[in-house]
Amino acid sequence: MAKSPKSALVIVGDGVEEMEAVAPIDLLRRAGVTVTVASITKHRLVTGRNGIAIQADRLMEDVSDPFDAIIIPGGPGIKEVRAESKVIELLKEQARAGRLIAAICAAPTVLLDAGLLDGRRYTAHFGVADELPDIMEDAPVVIDGNIVTSRGAGTALDFGLTLVELLCSDSTADEVASSICVPEQV
């Protein structure tokens, strides 16, 4: 019997940082992960912080299945994501099940709201340092158990490839990186 592919939920809304959403979506799909993009708005079409439209697969209100990973990109729209009780409950359930949770830029504040950062190592964008004073500023990506965090748009590629590695394998992440001409690390 063939192994079913891994699955990931990416939560987006108006004001999402486009690179932080699209880079992981793209890299995970290249790796064969089934990615569902869910909009927290009442529309499947959301507008990112730089005016780029992103078409979600579903509305957040229609999401119920479990996913191997839940990924939250940042951007100024994170305020609306933080206000979504369904997102907080999904994150808590994901944590209880020991499944992967990933957040980039300002999105680790959502993990804070869900009570998932206590005693954890994490990073985030410097713009949220007042709420997250223990940001690991020198790390582009931090993995602590089932929690993965990253700094911002400039680390979106590292973030996405880390998720491929964790959901698939090191070799799959290497293949995806090679296919898009990511320079090898020395």
Confirm whether 1 is domain-assigned. no
pLDDT number for residue 9? 98
**Contact between residue 102 and residue 149 where contact means Cβ atoms under 8 Å apart:** yes
pLDDT number for residue 186? 55
- Count structural domains, the chain: 1
Confirm whether 157 is domain-assigned. yes
pLDDT number for residue 184? 81
Of 136, 149, 85, 91, residue with least CA distance to 115: 91
Confirm whether 156 is domain-assigned. yes
Phi, psi of 58 (to 5 degrees): -150, 165
Confirm whether 111 is domain-assigned. yes
pLDDT tens digits, the chain, 186 residues: what are they? 345 699 999 999 999 999 999 999 999 999 999 999 999 999 999 999 999 999 999 999 999 889 999 999 999 999 999 999 999 999 999 999 999 999 999 999 999 999 999 999 999 999 999 999 999 999 999 999 999 999 999 999 999 999 999 999 999 999 999 999 999 865
Confirm whether 2 is domain-assigned. no
Active site residues: 105
Question: What pTM did the predictor assign?
Answer: 0.96
CATH code: domain of residue 107: 3.40.50.880
Of 26, 23, 9, residue with least CA distance to 150: 23
Query: How is residue 66 written in tokens?
Result: 């479990």
Query: What's the domain range around 85?
Result: 7-179
Confirm whether 185 is domain-assigned. no
pLDDT number for residue 1? 37
Confirm whether 184 is domain-assigned. no
Cβ burial, residue 86 (10 Å; 0-12/13-18/19+): middle
